[in-house]
């Protein structure tokens, strides 16, 4: 399945691009947003990160059809600052994050992200990383499994699913996605399976754990903000309430006026925050976008700008 970029127009507009903009796309994916950016920055430059080599090889061809003023960096975006510095770049006009996985990653039969098709349990976005969903499912203890299912998957059956996994793997390792789906189904009451697929939340939880998705958000936002020129913006699209909470709280913290001077009639310049929120409430997809692309339903976009 091809990837449809979520909140495309909103993200492009939020980046306030001009011909000369230097932009980082932290999550290149299938190049939808990057393509839109590149088409608008004829005299500027795009640095695009992804840790997935399949996404990179697809997007390289796609971006080459639009322009040549870009560099793709195969890396976790948590190395953003160091990677850009090694290319001589110390400041940029904008950074875009479109977090999570792309539709081709989810739907590709051999990546192990999908609970619809059978494949080895994998779920690594970076195919060279060492820990896959197989390792987690077969080695984490019951408490650890239940914890990630509860916290990352928000599953009310976390304990029971963890118990079933641990029981089953005593007989033989759990090798494939559909073996895991069968175990999950056994652990979830029939009537709870009618509205949504019982494996959805568990697969989401495993994916977040395999890729350390939540751990890298705040440290990378910190790097992204430190790279911004005055007037530059960081735009973040999230798909999970825990991701959004991290972004929201971090942005709130960096725009806060220091308690020491809050309420003073004239706040000295050095105490004023360096950043200002562009979106006080998260931007969400329109009904029309959700109709065309159900993935957009859970998307939230937040934007912050460097003001000094």
Ligand X SMILES: C[S@@+](CC[C@H](N)C(=O)[O-])C[C@H]1O[C@@H](n2cnc3c(N)ncnc32)[C@H](O)[C@@H]1O
Taking contact as CB under 6 A, which single stretch among the options 43-51, 143-151, 171-179, 252-260 is the one that binds ligand X?
Answer: 43-51
* 132 within 8 A of 123, measured Cβ to Cβ: yes
- If the CB atoms of residues 106 and 304 are measured against ligand X, the closer one turns out to be 106
Residue with tokens 């709280």, as numbered in its chain:
249
Q: Could you give the CA distance from residue 144 to residue 215 in angstroms, rounded to a whole number?
A: 17
- Around 136, how many Cα atoms within 13 Å sit in the side-chain half-sphere? 29
**Which residue's C-beta sits nearest to ligand X?**
29
* 298 within 8 A of 9, measured Cβ to Cβ: no
β partners of residue 45: 22
Decide if residue 201 touches ligand X (CB under 6 A). no
Provide, rounded to whole angstroms, the least separation between the CB of residue 134 and ligand X: 19
- If the CB atoms of residues 10 and 50 are measured against ligand X, the closer one turns out to be 50
Q: Which of 98, 209, 289, 305 binds ligand X (CB under 6 A)?
A: 98
Decide if residue 5 touches ligand X (CB under 6 A). yes
- If the CB atoms of residues 135 and 215 are measured against ligand X, the closer one turns out to be 215
Q: Which of 131, 166, 214, 216 binds ligand X (CB under 6 A)?
A: 216
Decide if residue 55 touches ligand X (CB under 6 A). yes
Q: Annotate 90-104 with DSSP letters as a single string.
A: --EEEEEEE-S--HH
Q: Could you give the CA distance from residue 26 to residue 305 in angstroms, rounded to a whole number?
A: 17
Calculated CA dihedral for residues 117, 148, 54, 94, nearest 10 degrees: 140
Site size for ligand X (CB under 6 A):
21
- Name the residues that contact ligand X, by CB under 6 A: 3, 5, 27, 29-33, 49-52, 55, 76-77, 98, 100-102, 125, 216
């Amino acid at each position: 399945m091809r990837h449809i970029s979520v909140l495309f127009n909103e993200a492009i507009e939020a980046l306030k691009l001009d011909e000369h903009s230097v932009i980082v796309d932290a999550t290149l994916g299938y190049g939808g947003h990057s393509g839109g950016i590149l088409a608008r920055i004829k005299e500027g430059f795009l640095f695009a990160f992804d840790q997935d080599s399949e996404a990179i090889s697809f997007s390289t061809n796609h971006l080459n059809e639009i322009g040549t003023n870009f560099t793709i960096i195969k890396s976790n975006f948590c190395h953003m600052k160091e990677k850009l510095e090694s290319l001589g770049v110390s400041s940029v006009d904008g950074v875009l994050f479109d977090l999570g996985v792309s539709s081709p990653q989810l739907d590709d039969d051999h990546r192990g992200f999908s609970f619809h098709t059978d494949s080895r349990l994998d779920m690594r976005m970076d195919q060279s990383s060492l820990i896959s969903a197989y390792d987690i499912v077969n080695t984490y203890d019951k408490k650890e499994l239940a914890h990630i299912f509860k916290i990352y998957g928000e599953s009310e059956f976390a304990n029971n699913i963890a118990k079933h996994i641990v029981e089953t793997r005593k007989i033989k390792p759990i090798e494939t996605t559909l073996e895991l789906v069968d175990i999950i189904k056994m652990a979830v009451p029939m009537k709870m399976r009618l509205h949504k697929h019982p494996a959805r939340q568990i697969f989401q939880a495993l994916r977040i754990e395999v890729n350390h998705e939540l751990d890298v958000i705040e440290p990378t936002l910190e790097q992204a903000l430190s790279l911004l020129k005055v007037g530059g913006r960081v735009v973040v699209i999230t798909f999970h309430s825990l991701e959004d909470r991290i972004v929201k709280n971090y942005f709130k913290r960096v725009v806060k006026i220091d308690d020491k001077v809050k309420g003073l009639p004239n706040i000295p310049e050095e105490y004023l925050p360096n950043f200002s929120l562009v979106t006080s409430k998260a931007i969400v997809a329109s009904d029309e976008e959700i109709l065309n692309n159900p993935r957009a339903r859970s998307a939230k976009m937040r934007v912050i700008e460097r003001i000094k």
